[in-house]
Structure 1
Amino acid sequence: MPDFNPTEYAVPGFVALVLLEMLWARRHRRDAYEARDTLTSLAFGLGSTVSGLLFGGAFLALFLWVWQFRLFDVPWSWWGFALCFVLDDLKYYWVHRFGHRVRWFWASHVNHHSSQHYNLSTALRQSWTGFLTLGFVFALPLVLLGFHPAMIAICAGFNLIYQFWIHTEAIDRMPRWFEAVMNTPSHHRVHHATNPRYLDRNYAGVFIVWDKLFGTFEPEVRGEKIRYGIVKQLGSFDLLWSVFHEWIGIAQDMWRAPWKHKLSYLLREPGWTHDGSRETSDQIRAAWRERNGERENSVSSDNLVAGKPEAA
Protein backbone atom coordinates (compact mmCIF):
# COMPACT_ATOMS: atom_id res chain seq x y z
CA MET A 1 0.00 0.00 0.00
CA PRO A 2 1.68 3.25 -1.14
CA ASP A 3 1.95 6.14 1.28
CA PHE A 4 1.26 8.97 -1.14
CA ASN A 5 -0.68 12.21 -0.84
CA PRO A 6 -0.87 13.93 -4.26
CA THR A 7 -2.09 17.25 -2.85
CA GLU A 8 1.15 17.72 -0.89
CA TYR A 9 3.10 17.67 -4.14
CA ALA A 10 0.62 20.04 -5.80
CA VAL A 11 0.94 22.86 -3.26
CA PRO A 12 3.91 24.60 -5.00
CA GLY A 13 1.91 24.49 -8.23
CA PHE A 14 -1.10 26.02 -6.48
CA VAL A 15 1.04 28.89 -5.19
CA ALA A 16 2.63 29.50 -8.60
CA LEU A 17 -0.75 29.55 -10.37
CA VAL A 18 -2.22 31.98 -7.83
CA LEU A 19 0.72 34.33 -8.38
CA LEU A 20 0.35 34.07 -12.16
CA GLU A 21 -3.36 34.80 -11.92
CA MET A 22 -2.65 37.83 -9.74
CA LEU A 23 -0.36 39.16 -12.48
CA TRP A 24 -3.11 38.54 -15.03
CA ALA A 25 -5.64 40.30 -12.80
CA ARG A 26 -3.46 43.41 -12.46
CA ARG A 27 -3.57 43.80 -16.22
CA HIS A 28 -7.03 42.53 -17.15
CA ARG A 29 -9.33 42.35 -14.10
CA ARG A 30 -8.13 44.45 -11.18
CA ASP A 31 -11.31 43.61 -9.27
CA ALA A 32 -10.66 39.86 -9.46
CA TYR A 33 -8.68 39.96 -6.21
CA GLU A 34 -9.35 41.77 -2.94
CA ALA A 35 -6.66 41.56 -0.27
CA ARG A 36 -8.91 40.83 2.73
CA ASP A 37 -10.90 38.29 0.75
CA THR A 38 -7.74 36.50 -0.37
CA LEU A 39 -6.35 36.41 3.18
CA THR A 40 -9.65 34.93 4.40
CA SER A 41 -9.44 32.26 1.70
CA LEU A 42 -5.88 31.39 2.73
CA ALA A 43 -6.97 31.14 6.37
CA PHE A 44 -9.79 28.81 5.31
CA GLY A 45 -7.27 26.60 3.55
CA LEU A 46 -4.97 26.48 6.56
CA GLY A 47 -7.80 25.68 8.96
CA SER A 48 -9.13 22.97 6.66
CA THR A 49 -5.69 21.35 6.57
CA VAL A 50 -5.53 21.33 10.37
CA SER A 51 -9.05 19.86 10.56
CA GLY A 52 -8.05 17.14 8.11
CA LEU A 53 -5.02 16.24 10.20
CA LEU A 54 -7.12 16.05 13.36
CA PHE A 55 -9.94 13.91 12.01
CA GLY A 56 -8.52 12.20 8.92
CA GLY A 57 -6.91 9.41 10.92
CA ALA A 58 -10.22 8.45 12.55
CA PHE A 59 -11.95 8.24 9.16
CA LEU A 60 -9.12 6.14 7.72
CA ALA A 61 -9.36 3.76 10.66
CA LEU A 62 -13.11 3.41 10.10
CA PHE A 63 -12.61 2.75 6.39
CA LEU A 64 -9.97 0.10 7.09
CA TRP A 65 -12.36 -1.60 9.50
CA VAL A 66 -15.16 -1.59 6.90
CA TRP A 67 -12.76 -2.88 4.23
CA GLN A 68 -12.65 -6.31 5.90
CA PHE A 69 -16.27 -6.76 4.77
CA ARG A 70 -15.49 -6.03 1.10
CA LEU A 71 -17.18 -8.04 -1.63
CA PHE A 72 -14.22 -8.04 -4.03
CA ASP A 73 -10.51 -7.25 -4.13
CA VAL A 74 -9.83 -4.51 -6.65
CA PRO A 75 -6.13 -4.71 -7.57
CA TRP A 76 -3.63 -1.87 -7.40
CA SER A 77 -3.54 -1.65 -11.20
CA TRP A 78 -4.05 1.06 -13.82
CA TRP A 79 -7.62 -0.04 -14.48
CA GLY A 80 -8.32 -0.31 -10.74
CA PHE A 81 -7.20 3.29 -10.26
CA ALA A 82 -9.13 4.46 -13.36
CA LEU A 83 -12.33 2.79 -12.18
CA CYS A 84 -11.83 4.12 -8.66
CA PHE A 85 -11.28 7.64 -9.97
CA VAL A 86 -14.51 7.61 -12.01
CA LEU A 87 -16.60 6.12 -9.20
CA ASP A 88 -15.06 8.48 -6.66
CA ASP A 89 -16.01 11.40 -8.89
CA LEU A 90 -19.58 10.07 -9.09
CA LYS A 91 -19.54 9.89 -5.29
CA TYR A 92 -18.27 13.46 -5.17
CA TYR A 93 -21.16 14.62 -7.36
CA TRP A 94 -23.71 13.27 -4.87
CA VAL A 95 -21.85 14.53 -1.80
CA HIS A 96 -21.66 17.94 -3.46
CA ARG A 97 -25.34 17.87 -4.43
CA PHE A 98 -26.33 17.01 -0.87
CA GLY A 99 -24.06 19.85 0.20
CA HIS A 100 -26.41 22.26 -1.56
CA ARG A 101 -29.74 20.54 -0.98
CA VAL A 102 -29.57 19.60 2.72
CA ARG A 103 -28.92 22.44 5.13
CA TRP A 104 -26.90 20.27 7.52
CA PHE A 105 -24.45 19.61 4.70
CA TRP A 106 -24.70 23.19 3.43
CA ALA A 107 -23.59 24.55 6.82
CA SER A 108 -20.18 23.08 6.07
CA HIS A 109 -20.06 23.59 2.30
CA VAL A 110 -21.25 27.22 2.35
CA ASN A 111 -17.69 28.18 3.33
CA HIS A 112 -16.55 27.40 -0.19
CA HIS A 113 -19.15 29.74 -1.71
CA SER A 114 -18.87 32.65 0.69
CA SER A 115 -16.46 34.75 -1.37
CA GLN A 116 -17.89 37.35 -3.75
CA HIS A 117 -14.75 37.00 -5.85
CA TYR A 118 -13.94 34.12 -8.17
CA ASN A 119 -10.26 33.35 -8.46
CA LEU A 120 -7.83 30.55 -7.70
CA SER A 121 -7.60 31.53 -4.04
CA THR A 122 -11.34 30.81 -3.77
CA ALA A 123 -10.53 27.15 -4.36
CA LEU A 124 -8.72 27.18 -1.00
CA ARG A 125 -11.95 28.03 0.87
CA GLN A 126 -12.43 24.55 2.23
CA SER A 127 -14.54 23.63 5.23
CA TRP A 128 -13.27 23.27 8.78
CA THR A 129 -16.41 21.36 9.83
CA GLY A 130 -16.84 18.74 7.12
CA PHE A 131 -16.46 15.96 9.67
CA LEU A 132 -19.75 17.05 11.29
CA THR A 133 -21.79 16.26 8.16
CA LEU A 134 -20.66 12.61 8.02
CA GLY A 135 -20.24 12.97 4.26
CA PHE A 136 -17.62 10.21 4.41
CA VAL A 137 -20.54 7.73 4.45
CA PHE A 138 -20.87 8.26 0.67
CA ALA A 139 -17.45 6.62 0.20
CA LEU A 140 -18.27 3.46 2.16
CA PRO A 141 -19.86 1.68 -0.86
CA LEU A 142 -16.52 2.00 -2.67
CA VAL A 143 -14.76 0.39 0.27
CA LEU A 144 -17.29 -2.43 0.35
CA LEU A 145 -16.81 -2.97 -3.39
CA GLY A 146 -13.14 -3.67 -2.70
CA PHE A 147 -11.33 -0.39 -3.38
CA HIS A 148 -8.66 0.03 -0.72
CA PRO A 149 -9.19 3.18 1.42
CA ALA A 150 -5.71 4.42 0.44
CA MET A 151 -6.60 4.09 -3.25
CA ILE A 152 -9.79 6.07 -2.66
CA ALA A 153 -7.83 8.75 -0.78
CA ILE A 154 -5.30 9.06 -3.62
CA CYS A 155 -8.06 9.39 -6.22
CA ALA A 156 -9.84 11.98 -4.07
CA GLY A 157 -6.56 13.91 -3.87
CA PHE A 158 -6.22 14.02 -7.67
CA ASN A 159 -9.89 15.03 -7.89
CA LEU A 160 -9.20 17.97 -5.58
CA ILE A 161 -6.13 18.96 -7.61
CA TYR A 162 -8.17 18.98 -10.81
CA GLN A 163 -10.80 21.24 -9.29
CA PHE A 164 -8.26 23.90 -8.35
CA TRP A 165 -7.66 25.28 -11.85
CA ILE A 166 -11.34 25.70 -12.72
CA HIS A 167 -11.76 28.50 -10.15
CA THR A 168 -10.76 31.29 -12.50
CA GLU A 169 -12.08 33.93 -14.87
CA ALA A 170 -8.77 34.04 -16.73
CA ILE A 171 -9.78 31.09 -18.94
CA ASP A 172 -12.65 31.51 -21.37
CA ARG A 173 -13.78 28.23 -22.87
CA MET A 174 -11.90 25.02 -23.50
CA PRO A 175 -12.30 23.09 -26.79
CA ARG A 176 -15.89 21.94 -27.37
CA TRP A 177 -15.11 18.24 -26.93
CA PHE A 178 -13.47 19.01 -23.57
CA GLU A 179 -16.38 21.18 -22.40
CA ALA A 180 -18.77 18.34 -23.31
CA VAL A 181 -17.15 15.84 -20.94
CA MET A 182 -15.05 17.63 -18.35
CA ASN A 183 -15.73 20.27 -15.72
CA THR A 184 -14.22 23.58 -16.79
CA PRO A 185 -13.91 27.18 -15.55
CA SER A 186 -17.00 28.10 -17.56
CA HIS A 187 -19.09 25.31 -16.02
CA HIS A 188 -17.83 26.02 -12.53
CA ARG A 189 -18.41 29.77 -12.76
CA VAL A 190 -22.06 28.83 -13.15
CA HIS A 191 -21.87 26.77 -9.99
CA HIS A 192 -20.51 29.67 -7.95
CA ALA A 193 -23.05 32.17 -9.29
CA THR A 194 -26.01 33.54 -7.33
CA ASN A 195 -27.97 34.46 -10.47
CA PRO A 196 -31.36 32.70 -10.29
CA ARG A 197 -30.69 30.88 -13.56
CA TYR A 198 -27.54 29.33 -12.13
CA LEU A 199 -28.49 28.47 -8.54
CA ASP A 200 -27.66 24.89 -7.54
CA ARG A 201 -26.35 23.81 -10.91
CA ASN A 202 -23.18 22.07 -12.15
CA TYR A 203 -22.20 20.01 -9.10
CA ALA A 204 -19.51 18.07 -10.98
CA GLY A 205 -16.01 17.61 -9.67
CA VAL A 206 -14.12 16.38 -12.74
CA PHE A 207 -16.71 15.01 -15.20
CA ILE A 208 -19.54 17.38 -16.16
CA VAL A 209 -21.37 14.38 -17.65
CA TRP A 210 -22.85 13.64 -14.20
CA ASP A 211 -24.78 16.92 -14.29
CA LYS A 212 -25.99 16.20 -17.80
CA LEU A 213 -27.00 12.69 -16.77
CA PHE A 214 -28.88 13.75 -13.62
CA GLY A 215 -30.47 16.93 -14.96
CA THR A 216 -28.48 19.59 -13.09
CA PHE A 217 -26.41 21.03 -15.94
CA GLU A 218 -26.66 24.70 -16.89
CA PRO A 219 -24.38 26.34 -19.50
CA GLU A 220 -22.88 29.77 -19.02
CA VAL A 221 -24.82 32.34 -21.05
CA ARG A 222 -23.39 35.30 -22.90
CA GLY A 223 -24.45 38.74 -21.72
CA GLU A 224 -25.50 37.74 -18.22
CA LYS A 225 -23.11 39.16 -15.66
CA ILE A 226 -22.29 36.61 -12.98
CA ARG A 227 -22.70 37.57 -9.34
CA TYR A 228 -20.65 35.38 -7.02
CA GLY A 229 -21.10 34.43 -3.38
CA ILE A 230 -24.23 33.30 -1.57
CA VAL A 231 -27.82 34.51 -1.77
CA LYS A 232 -27.48 36.37 1.52
CA GLN A 233 -23.94 37.71 1.40
CA LEU A 234 -21.83 37.63 4.56
CA GLY A 235 -20.87 41.30 4.39
CA SER A 236 -17.88 40.54 6.61
CA PHE A 237 -14.32 39.24 6.44
CA ASP A 238 -14.45 37.97 10.02
CA LEU A 239 -12.95 34.48 9.78
CA LEU A 240 -14.84 32.78 12.60
CA TRP A 241 -18.16 34.24 11.47
CA SER A 242 -17.39 33.08 7.93
CA VAL A 243 -16.71 29.54 9.18
CA PHE A 244 -19.60 29.11 11.61
CA HIS A 245 -22.36 31.52 10.52
CA GLU A 246 -24.60 28.86 8.99
CA TRP A 247 -24.25 26.51 11.95
CA ILE A 248 -25.26 29.44 14.15
CA GLY A 249 -28.20 30.17 11.83
CA ILE A 250 -29.39 26.57 12.06
CA ALA A 251 -29.23 26.64 15.85
CA GLN A 252 -31.19 29.89 15.98
CA ASP A 253 -33.86 28.66 13.57
CA MET A 254 -34.29 25.35 15.39
CA TRP A 255 -34.54 27.14 18.75
CA ARG A 256 -37.29 29.48 17.52
CA ALA A 257 -39.24 26.98 15.41
CA PRO A 258 -42.29 25.01 16.60
CA TRP A 259 -41.40 21.48 17.65
CA LYS A 260 -42.87 19.84 14.55
CA HIS A 261 -40.62 21.94 12.29
CA LYS A 262 -37.33 21.90 14.20
CA LEU A 263 -35.78 18.94 12.37
CA SER A 264 -36.77 20.39 9.00
CA TYR A 265 -34.42 23.33 9.57
CA LEU A 266 -31.61 20.79 9.71
CA LEU A 267 -32.61 18.37 6.95
CA ARG A 268 -34.49 20.42 4.36
CA GLU A 269 -32.92 22.62 1.72
CA PRO A 270 -31.23 25.93 2.60
CA GLY A 271 -33.70 28.82 2.61
CA TRP A 272 -36.67 26.69 3.66
CA THR A 273 -38.81 28.11 6.45
CA HIS A 274 -42.05 26.86 7.94
CA ASP A 275 -43.65 30.31 7.56
CA GLY A 276 -42.35 31.10 4.06
CA SER A 277 -40.29 34.07 5.29
CA ARG A 278 -37.30 33.03 3.17
CA GLU A 279 -36.91 31.38 -0.22
CA THR A 280 -35.15 28.25 -1.41
CA SER A 281 -33.12 28.19 -4.60
CA ASP A 282 -35.98 26.39 -6.36
CA GLN A 283 -38.42 29.13 -5.35
CA ILE A 284 -36.01 31.88 -6.42
CA ARG A 285 -35.49 30.22 -9.80
CA ALA A 286 -39.22 29.58 -10.31
CA ALA A 287 -40.04 33.23 -9.59
CA TRP A 288 -37.31 34.36 -11.97
CA ARG A 289 -38.60 32.06 -14.70
CA GLU A 290 -42.13 33.37 -14.24
CA ARG A 291 -40.89 36.93 -14.65
CA ASN A 292 -38.55 36.16 -17.54
CA GLY A 293 -40.10 33.09 -19.12
CA GLU A 294 -40.34 34.55 -22.59
CA ARG A 295 -36.73 35.69 -22.60
CA GLU A 296 -35.46 32.44 -21.07
CA ASN A 297 -37.34 30.31 -23.59
CA SER A 298 -35.85 32.37 -26.42
CA VAL A 299 -32.23 31.76 -25.38
CA SER A 300 -30.53 30.03 -28.29
CA SER A 301 -27.29 28.15 -28.62
CA ASP A 302 -25.78 31.31 -30.14
CA ASN A 303 -26.09 32.97 -26.74
CA LEU A 304 -24.02 30.38 -24.94
CA VAL A 305 -20.77 31.87 -23.75
CA ALA A 306 -17.92 31.61 -26.22
CA GLY A 307 -15.69 33.19 -23.62
CA LYS A 308 -15.79 34.39 -20.07
CA PRO A 309 -18.76 36.38 -18.77
CA GLU A 310 -18.76 40.08 -19.51
CA ALA A 311 -16.58 42.04 -17.15
CA ALA A 312 -18.18 43.81 -14.21
Structure 2
Amino acid sequence: MTDHAPAAPSYDDVRAAAGRIAGRVRPVAVVPAGEGLWFALEQLQHTGSFKARGARNFIAAHRETGTLPAAGVTIASGGNAGLACAWAARGEGVPATVFLPESAPRVKVDKLRSYGADVRLAGTEYAEALAACEEFGAGSGALVSHAYDHPLIAAGAGTLLDEIRDRLPELDTVVVSAGGGGLFTGVAVAALAHGVRVLVVEPENCRALNAGLTAGHPVDVPVRSIAADALGARRASWAAVRTAARPGVTSLLVPDAAIAEARRALWEEHRLVVEHAAATAYAGLAGRPGEYGKQVAVVLCGANTDPSDLAV
Protein backbone atom coordinates (compact mmCIF):
# COMPACT_ATOMS: atom_id res chain seq x y z
CA MET A 1 0.00 0.00 0.00
CA THR A 2 1.28 3.50 -0.79
CA ASP A 3 1.95 5.95 2.02
CA HIS A 4 -1.02 8.12 1.04
CA ALA A 5 -3.57 5.39 0.34
CA PRO A 6 -6.49 5.33 2.81
CA ALA A 7 -6.61 2.06 4.75
CA ALA A 8 -9.56 -0.29 4.80
CA PRO A 9 -11.79 0.12 7.85
CA SER A 10 -11.69 -2.50 10.57
CA TYR A 11 -14.77 -4.34 11.79
CA ASP A 12 -14.65 -2.12 14.88
CA ASP A 13 -14.93 0.86 12.51
CA VAL A 14 -18.03 -0.69 10.96
CA ARG A 15 -19.59 -1.21 14.39
CA ALA A 16 -18.80 2.39 15.33
CA ALA A 17 -20.44 3.54 12.10
CA ALA A 18 -23.56 1.54 12.94
CA GLY A 19 -23.85 3.43 16.21
CA ARG A 20 -23.46 6.81 14.51
CA ILE A 21 -26.04 6.26 11.79
CA ALA A 22 -28.63 4.36 13.86
CA GLY A 23 -31.99 6.04 13.45
CA ARG A 24 -30.62 8.20 10.63
CA VAL A 25 -30.84 5.66 7.81
CA ARG A 26 -33.44 3.06 6.92
CA PRO A 27 -32.65 -0.46 8.18
CA VAL A 28 -32.36 -2.73 5.16
CA ALA A 29 -35.31 -4.99 4.33
CA VAL A 30 -34.35 -8.57 3.50
CA VAL A 31 -36.90 -10.58 1.54
CA PRO A 32 -36.94 -14.18 0.20
CA ALA A 33 -36.44 -14.46 -3.54
CA GLY A 34 -36.29 -18.22 -4.13
CA GLU A 35 -34.74 -21.37 -2.72
CA GLY A 36 -31.74 -20.27 -0.65
CA LEU A 37 -31.83 -16.74 -2.07
CA TRP A 38 -32.65 -13.41 -0.43
CA PHE A 39 -32.60 -9.82 -1.65
CA ALA A 40 -31.27 -7.02 0.58
CA LEU A 41 -33.39 -4.08 -0.63
CA GLU A 42 -30.95 -1.23 -0.17
CA GLN A 43 -32.41 0.51 -3.21
CA LEU A 44 -35.10 1.65 -0.76
CA GLN A 45 -32.51 3.62 1.23
CA HIS A 46 -32.67 7.42 1.54
CA THR A 47 -31.52 9.07 -1.73
CA GLY A 48 -32.09 5.77 -3.53
CA SER A 49 -28.81 4.01 -2.74
CA PHE A 50 -26.49 2.63 -0.08
CA LYS A 51 -24.37 5.78 -0.36
CA ALA A 52 -26.52 7.42 2.32
CA ARG A 53 -24.85 5.21 4.94
CA GLY A 54 -21.30 6.29 4.21
CA ALA A 55 -22.22 9.94 3.80
CA ARG A 56 -24.01 9.99 7.16
CA ASN A 57 -21.10 8.26 8.89
CA PHE A 58 -18.51 10.57 7.31
CA ILE A 59 -20.23 13.77 8.40
CA ALA A 60 -21.31 12.47 11.83
CA ALA A 61 -17.79 11.23 12.62
CA HIS A 62 -16.30 14.63 11.81
CA ARG A 63 -18.90 16.36 13.95
CA GLU A 64 -18.10 13.90 16.75
CA THR A 65 -14.39 14.79 16.63
CA GLY A 66 -14.95 18.52 16.20
CA THR A 67 -13.51 18.54 12.67
CA LEU A 68 -16.67 19.46 10.77
CA PRO A 69 -16.06 23.03 9.58
CA ALA A 70 -18.67 25.76 9.38
CA ALA A 71 -18.00 25.80 5.63
CA GLY A 72 -19.56 22.32 5.46
CA VAL A 73 -18.64 19.61 3.00
CA THR A 74 -17.87 19.43 -0.69
CA ILE A 75 -17.78 16.56 -3.15
CA ALA A 76 -17.38 15.99 -6.88
CA SER A 77 -20.03 13.60 -8.09
CA GLY A 78 -22.98 13.76 -10.40
CA GLY A 79 -24.32 10.46 -9.14
CA ASN A 80 -25.39 8.67 -6.00
CA ALA A 81 -22.49 9.88 -3.85
CA GLY A 82 -23.28 13.53 -4.51
CA LEU A 83 -26.95 13.03 -3.69
CA ALA A 84 -26.07 11.20 -0.47
CA CYS A 85 -23.55 13.84 0.60
CA ALA A 86 -26.05 16.67 0.05
CA TRP A 87 -28.78 14.78 1.92
CA ALA A 88 -26.52 13.92 4.86
CA ALA A 89 -25.21 17.49 5.09
CA ARG A 90 -28.77 18.80 5.24
CA GLY A 91 -29.51 16.35 8.05
CA GLU A 92 -26.53 17.64 10.03
CA GLY A 93 -27.37 21.28 9.32
CA VAL A 94 -24.21 22.11 7.36
CA PRO A 95 -23.74 23.42 3.81
CA ALA A 96 -22.93 21.07 0.92
CA THR A 97 -21.23 22.21 -2.27
CA VAL A 98 -21.41 19.65 -5.06
CA PHE A 99 -19.33 19.90 -8.23
CA LEU A 100 -20.60 18.31 -11.44
CA PRO A 101 -19.42 18.34 -15.05
CA GLU A 102 -21.29 20.82 -17.24
CA SER A 103 -22.87 17.86 -19.05
CA ALA A 104 -24.67 16.65 -15.90
CA PRO A 105 -28.35 15.86 -16.49
CA ARG A 106 -30.72 18.58 -15.37
CA VAL A 107 -32.70 16.10 -13.28
CA LYS A 108 -29.65 15.43 -11.09
CA VAL A 109 -28.91 19.13 -10.70
CA ASP A 110 -32.49 19.76 -9.64
CA LYS A 111 -32.48 16.85 -7.18
CA LEU A 112 -29.26 18.08 -5.57
CA ARG A 113 -30.70 21.55 -5.21
CA SER A 114 -33.83 20.08 -3.61
CA TYR A 115 -31.52 18.83 -0.85
CA GLY A 116 -30.22 22.38 -0.39
CA ALA A 117 -26.87 21.82 -2.11
CA ASP A 118 -24.89 24.59 -3.79
CA VAL A 119 -24.41 23.02 -7.21
CA ARG A 120 -21.45 24.16 -9.31
CA LEU A 121 -20.75 23.01 -12.86
CA ALA A 122 -17.09 22.70 -13.78
CA GLY A 123 -15.45 21.25 -16.89
CA THR A 124 -16.68 18.58 -19.24
CA GLU A 125 -15.76 15.45 -17.26
CA TYR A 126 -15.52 14.17 -13.72
CA ALA A 127 -11.76 14.78 -13.39
CA GLU A 128 -12.24 18.50 -14.00
CA ALA A 129 -15.11 18.68 -11.53
CA LEU A 130 -12.94 16.89 -8.96
CA ALA A 131 -10.09 19.37 -9.47
CA ALA A 132 -12.51 22.25 -8.98
CA CYS A 133 -13.89 20.59 -5.85
CA GLU A 134 -10.45 20.16 -4.32
CA GLU A 135 -9.53 23.76 -5.15
CA PHE A 136 -12.74 24.95 -3.53
CA GLY A 137 -12.08 22.88 -0.42
CA ALA A 138 -8.57 24.27 -0.06
CA GLY A 139 -9.76 27.85 -0.44
CA SER A 140 -12.99 27.72 1.55
CA GLY A 141 -12.10 25.35 4.35
CA ALA A 142 -14.93 22.98 3.38
CA LEU A 143 -14.35 19.32 4.22
CA VAL A 144 -13.65 17.38 1.02
CA SER A 145 -15.52 14.08 0.85
CA HIS A 146 -14.94 11.22 -1.58
CA ALA A 147 -17.37 9.00 -3.41
CA TYR A 148 -15.77 5.76 -2.17
CA ASP A 149 -12.08 5.99 -1.22
CA HIS A 150 -12.28 6.81 2.49
CA PRO A 151 -12.47 4.46 5.50
CA LEU A 152 -15.44 6.32 7.01
CA ILE A 153 -17.37 6.02 3.74
CA ALA A 154 -16.57 2.31 3.44
CA ALA A 155 -17.35 1.63 7.11
CA GLY A 156 -20.74 3.25 6.72
CA ALA A 157 -21.52 1.05 3.74
CA GLY A 158 -20.38 -1.98 5.71
CA THR A 159 -23.17 -1.55 8.26
CA LEU A 160 -25.39 -3.33 5.75
CA LEU A 161 -23.83 -6.70 6.50
CA ASP A 162 -24.76 -6.95 10.16
CA GLU A 163 -28.30 -5.84 9.37
CA ILE A 164 -28.54 -8.67 6.84
CA ARG A 165 -27.12 -11.17 9.38
CA ASP A 166 -29.66 -10.03 11.98
CA ARG A 167 -32.31 -11.38 9.60
CA LEU A 168 -30.27 -14.30 8.22
CA PRO A 169 -28.07 -15.61 11.07
CA GLU A 170 -26.91 -18.57 8.97
CA LEU A 171 -25.84 -16.42 6.03
CA ASP A 172 -23.24 -18.19 3.86
CA THR A 173 -22.52 -15.66 1.11
CA VAL A 174 -23.23 -12.01 0.37
CA VAL A 175 -23.16 -10.78 -3.24
CA VAL A 176 -22.27 -7.17 -4.06
CA SER A 177 -21.35 -5.21 -7.16
CA ALA A 178 -18.27 -2.97 -7.25
CA GLY A 179 -17.18 0.24 -8.91
CA GLY A 180 -14.49 2.03 -6.92
CA GLY A 181 -14.99 -0.44 -4.09
CA GLY A 182 -16.48 1.44 -1.14
CA LEU A 183 -19.52 -0.80 -0.73
CA PHE A 184 -17.51 -3.95 -1.35
CA THR A 185 -14.76 -3.00 1.12
CA GLY A 186 -17.09 -2.22 4.00
CA VAL A 187 -19.36 -5.20 3.44
CA ALA A 188 -16.42 -7.58 2.98
CA VAL A 189 -14.66 -6.43 6.15
CA ALA A 190 -17.80 -7.15 8.16
CA ALA A 191 -18.62 -10.37 6.32
CA LEU A 192 -15.16 -11.89 6.71
CA ALA A 193 -15.24 -11.08 10.43
CA HIS A 194 -18.17 -13.52 10.66
CA GLY A 195 -16.88 -16.16 8.23
CA VAL A 196 -19.34 -15.08 5.52
CA ARG A 197 -18.07 -15.44 1.96
CA VAL A 198 -18.21 -12.50 -0.47
CA LEU A 199 -18.91 -12.63 -4.19
CA VAL A 200 -17.99 -9.29 -5.78
CA VAL A 201 -19.33 -8.75 -9.30
CA GLU A 202 -18.28 -6.26 -11.98
CA PRO A 203 -19.12 -5.68 -15.65
CA GLU A 204 -16.56 -7.17 -18.03
CA ASN A 205 -15.76 -3.75 -19.47
CA CYS A 206 -15.86 -1.85 -16.19
CA ARG A 207 -13.53 -3.97 -14.07
CA ALA A 208 -11.41 -1.69 -11.90
CA LEU A 209 -11.36 -4.01 -8.88
CA ASN A 210 -10.75 -7.21 -10.83
CA ALA A 211 -7.90 -5.56 -12.76
CA GLY A 212 -6.36 -4.23 -9.58
CA LEU A 213 -6.59 -7.65 -7.97
CA THR A 214 -4.86 -9.22 -10.96
CA ALA A 215 -2.09 -6.59 -10.98
CA GLY A 216 -1.67 -6.54 -7.22
CA HIS A 217 -2.30 -2.79 -7.05
CA PRO A 218 -4.85 -0.28 -8.37
CA VAL A 219 -4.66 0.32 -12.12
CA ASP A 220 -6.61 2.47 -14.57
CA VAL A 221 -9.10 0.64 -16.77
CA PRO A 222 -11.39 1.60 -19.64
CA VAL A 223 -15.00 2.26 -18.67
CA ARG A 224 -17.55 0.94 -21.16
CA SER A 225 -20.68 -0.61 -19.67
CA ILE A 226 -24.39 -0.03 -19.29
CA ALA A 227 -23.64 0.11 -15.54
CA ALA A 228 -20.89 2.73 -15.89
CA ASP A 229 -23.06 5.52 -14.47
CA ALA A 230 -22.63 3.94 -11.01
CA LEU A 231 -19.79 1.43 -11.47
CA GLY A 232 -17.63 3.55 -13.74
CA ALA A 233 -14.60 4.16 -11.52
CA ARG A 234 -11.42 4.09 -13.60
CA ARG A 235 -9.50 2.60 -10.70
CA ALA A 236 -10.47 0.86 -7.49
CA SER A 237 -9.21 2.00 -4.11
CA TRP A 238 -6.18 0.42 -2.48
CA ALA A 239 -8.43 -0.66 0.38
CA ALA A 240 -10.70 -2.54 -2.03
CA VAL A 241 -7.83 -4.24 -3.85
CA ARG A 242 -6.24 -5.41 -0.60
CA THR A 243 -9.57 -6.61 0.78
CA ALA A 244 -10.36 -8.49 -2.45
CA ALA A 245 -7.14 -10.46 -2.04
CA ARG A 246 -8.25 -11.92 1.30
CA PRO A 247 -9.43 -15.55 1.55
CA GLY A 248 -13.19 -15.81 1.31
CA VAL A 249 -13.59 -13.28 -1.51
CA THR A 250 -14.35 -14.25 -5.10
CA SER A 251 -14.16 -11.74 -7.96
CA LEU A 252 -16.47 -12.32 -10.93
CA LEU A 253 -17.06 -10.52 -14.24
CA VAL A 254 -20.34 -10.48 -16.16
CA PRO A 255 -21.23 -9.18 -19.65
CA ASP A 256 -23.58 -6.28 -20.20
CA ALA A 257 -26.16 -8.61 -21.75
CA ALA A 258 -26.37 -10.55 -18.47
CA ILE A 259 -26.74 -7.31 -16.49
CA ALA A 260 -29.59 -6.13 -18.70
CA GLU A 261 -31.30 -9.50 -18.41
CA ALA A 262 -30.90 -9.54 -14.62
CA ARG A 263 -32.42 -6.07 -14.38
CA ARG A 264 -35.39 -7.14 -16.50
CA ALA A 265 -35.81 -10.30 -14.42
CA LEU A 266 -35.83 -8.33 -11.18
CA TRP A 267 -38.71 -6.30 -12.57
CA GLU A 268 -40.66 -9.00 -14.39
CA GLU A 269 -40.32 -11.71 -11.73
CA HIS A 270 -40.10 -9.66 -8.51
CA ARG A 271 -41.42 -6.20 -9.45
CA LEU A 272 -38.22 -4.55 -8.24
CA VAL A 273 -36.93 -1.48 -10.08
CA VAL A 274 -33.17 -1.15 -9.74
CA GLU A 275 -30.31 0.52 -11.56
CA HIS A 276 -27.88 -1.51 -13.65
CA ALA A 277 -25.32 -1.48 -10.83
CA ALA A 278 -27.71 -3.39 -8.58
CA ALA A 279 -28.58 -5.81 -11.36
CA THR A 280 -24.86 -6.50 -11.82
CA ALA A 281 -24.75 -8.24 -8.43
CA TYR A 282 -27.76 -10.38 -9.31
CA ALA A 283 -26.27 -11.25 -12.70
CA GLY A 284 -23.29 -12.78 -10.91
CA LEU A 285 -25.42 -15.63 -9.59
CA ALA A 286 -26.52 -16.68 -13.08
CA GLY A 287 -29.58 -18.32 -11.51
CA ARG A 288 -27.46 -20.67 -9.38
CA PRO A 289 -27.44 -19.36 -5.79
CA GLY A 290 -27.05 -22.92 -4.48
CA GLU A 291 -23.44 -22.92 -5.65
CA TYR A 292 -22.64 -20.35 -2.94
CA GLY A 293 -24.36 -21.92 0.05
CA LYS A 294 -27.76 -22.48 1.63
CA GLN A 295 -28.30 -18.81 2.48
CA VAL A 296 -27.21 -16.27 -0.12
CA ALA A 297 -28.07 -12.58 0.01
CA VAL A 298 -27.79 -10.24 -2.99
CA VAL A 299 -27.40 -6.55 -2.18
CA LEU A 300 -29.57 -4.47 -4.51
CA CYS A 301 -27.59 -1.30 -4.01
CA GLY A 302 -29.57 1.41 -5.77
CA ALA A 303 -32.61 2.47 -7.77
CA ASN A 304 -31.63 5.81 -9.31
CA THR A 305 -32.64 4.81 -12.80
CA ASP A 306 -35.15 5.54 -15.54
CA PRO A 307 -37.71 2.70 -15.34
CA SER A 308 -39.34 3.49 -18.68
CA ASP A 309 -37.55 0.63 -20.46
CA LEU A 310 -38.88 -1.94 -17.99
CA ALA A 311 -42.51 -1.79 -19.16
CA VAL A 312 -43.84 -5.19 -20.18
Q: What TM-score bracket applies, with the shorter chain setting the length?
A: under 0.3
Question: If you compute each CA radius of gyration, which structure gives the higher value, 1 or 2?
Answer: 1
Q: Which protein has the bigger helix share?
A: 1
- Report the TM-score when normalising by structure 2: 0.24
Q: Which protein has the bigger strand share?
A: 2
- Report the TM-score when normalising by structure 1: 0.24
